[in-house]
């Protein structure tokens, strides 16, 4: 039984990805506000929209990765995998290992720079997505899950 938590590299990866997306959204939003309110007869809506974009940017780039790192845990037991997420409302998902049908690993080029991976585990009814964990922890988790699944399949 090993508890896996997002590493600092995973947190920095989330910050980088969120920074890129929020920057693009902010540019599009500011461009839209400027082109829509070009005549300047009412100025306060554009400041409200720009302020909301700045707050969303600050949350997604600086606050969300820290909350995700602190409040997301993955634990692989002998016959079950548990995922616990949430800072304000806590969600626990228990997945029996003998119900697992597919395990996918994904690593984008930005994730390769930070040495992190995404792991997706599929059962008949649920999907467990684990974002931005260390390569070594991801490989170990996938190996443990697959060895259990192979053991169950060989018993059948």
| Per-residue pLDDT tens over the stretch 7-30 | 777 777 778 877 888 888 877 777
Q: What is the mean pLDDT of the chain?
A: 80
> Which of 21, 54, 70 is at the close of a domain?
70
DSSP lists the bridge partners of residue 100 as 123
For position 67, what pLDDT does the model report? 81
Mark whether 97 and 147 lie in a shared domain: yes
For position 105, what pLDDT does the model report? 92
Mark whether 121 and 63 lie in a shared domain: no
Mark whether 59 and 99 lie in a shared domain: no
Domains identified in the chain, total number: 2
Mark whether 81 and 66 lie in a shared domain: no
Mark whether 80 and 129 lie in a shared domain: yes
With a cut of 70, say whether residue 153 has pLDDT above it. Answer: no
Question: In terms of residue numbers, what domain contains 24?
Answer: 2-70
For position 28, what pLDDT does the model report? 77
Mark whether 64 and 100 lie in a shared domain: no
CB 131 within 8 A of CB 14: yes
Residue written as token pair 């554009």 = 46
Mark whether 65 and 132 lie in a shared domain: no
Mark whether 32 and 99 lie in a shared domain: no
Count CB-CB contacts under 10 A for residue 2. 11
Instruction: Using DSSP bridges, classify how beta strands 100-106 and 91-96 pair: parallel, antiparallel or unpaired.
Output: unpaired
Q: Which one has a higher pLDDT value, 38 or 11?
A: 11
Mark whether 51 and 82 lie in a shared domain: no
Orientation of helix 64-71 relative to helix 8-36, angle to 10°: 150
For position 37, what pLDDT does the model report? 65
pLDDT-wise least confident of 32-36, 85-89, 91-95: 32-36
Summarize the confidence of residues 29-43 as an average pLDDT: 67
> Which of 35, 70, 105 is at the close of a domain?
70
- Output the domain CATH number for residue 98: 2.30.29.30
Summarize the confidence of residues 112-132 as an average pLDDT: 87
Residue 99 per-residue DSSP state: G
Q: In the structure, what pLDDT confidence band is assigned to residue 39 with cuts at 50, 70 and 90?
A: low
């Amino acid at each position: 039984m090993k508890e896996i938590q997002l590493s600092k590299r995973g947190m920095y990866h989330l910050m980088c990805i969120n920074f890129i997306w929020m920057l693009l959204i902010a540019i599009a939003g500011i461009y839209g506000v400027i082109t829509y309110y070009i005549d300047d007869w009412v100025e306060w809506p554009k400041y409200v929209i720009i302020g909301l974009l700045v707050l969303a940017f600050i949350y997604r780039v600086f606050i969300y990765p820290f909350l995700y790192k602190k409040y997301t845990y993955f634990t692989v037991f002998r016959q079950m995998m548990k995922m616990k997420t949430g800072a304000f409302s806590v969600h626990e998902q228990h997945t029996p290992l003998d119900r697992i049908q597919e395990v996918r690993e994904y690593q984008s080029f930005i994730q390769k720079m930070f040495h992190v991976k995404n792991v997706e585990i599929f059962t008949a009814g649920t999907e467990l997505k684990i974002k931005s964990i260390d390569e070594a922890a991801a490989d170990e988790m996938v190996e443990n899950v697959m060895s259990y699944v192979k053991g169950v399949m060989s018993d059948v």
